[in-house]
Amino acid sequence: MKNQILKKSIDLFDDKGFKETTIQDIVDQLDVTKGTFYYYFNSKQEVLRDIHLEYIEGLLQEQEEILQNQTLSNKEKLYENIYLTLSKIDTQGKEARIVHRELRHLHEDHVKQIKLKRKEYRLNFEKIIDEGKKTREFSNHIRTDILAFGFLGMTNYSYYWFRTDGELTDKELARFYTEIILKGIEEVPVKEGI
């Protein structure tokens, strides 16, 4: 039942917005009483916190698998991590939209908790860049922190414009972003004087 409440809340929060959804709306959809709701959650905000937590913890877990995968180069890890973020637009679109829109409706303590986990995700991303610098896959002249922010900005912004039913897949987009940053876009002159 807890999962059903979460699932239905995700539908409603995405559709109507968190503030506009009442506990009554949630239990009506599930055909249960408010008592059932309060058996699992103390408030609507607790449901929102759980949606946030499940989302970021899922990301962290998959990111950990990428980090630990010793068959991948750091370039491949960078691509995989970017793809991981983008793939959620397709596989967890509703949750993704909710966590991008509804952070400020959480209690202060929960905001802190979520922000710490988001920071962990960013710092793990930095680990890949730092490792790649050590192995000389990446150049040392770019600051790791700025690069990580830049990457996360690119990918997070995609939630606003990228549609998985368009001409471009999330895999292709991840490849484009990785390529842009790895290769740069400056035209390299073929030969002096040509």
Chain positions contacting its own copies, by CB under 8 A: 75, 136-139, 142-143, 146-147, 149-150, 152-158, 161-162, 168, 173, 176-177, 179-188
Give the DSSP H/E element, type plus range, for residue 82. helix 74-91
Burial pattern 147-185, b for ≥16 Cβ within 10 A else e, equals bbeebbebbeebbeeeeeeeeeebeebbeebbeebeeee
- Between 67 and 182, CB nearer to its own copies: 182
| Nearest distance in Å: CB 163, its own copies | 12
- Between 7 and 101, CB nearer to its own copies: 101
| Nearest distance in Å: CB 174, its own copies | 11
- Residue 21 in contact with residue 4, Cβ under 8 Å? no
- Between 42 and 188, CB nearer to its own copies: 188
| Nearest distance in Å: CB 74, its own copies | 11
Site of tokens 């991981």: 84
- Between 40 and 149, CB nearer to its own copies: 149
| Nearest distance in Å: CB 31, its own copies | 31
Which backbone phi and psi does 22 adopt, to 5 degrees?
-105, 160
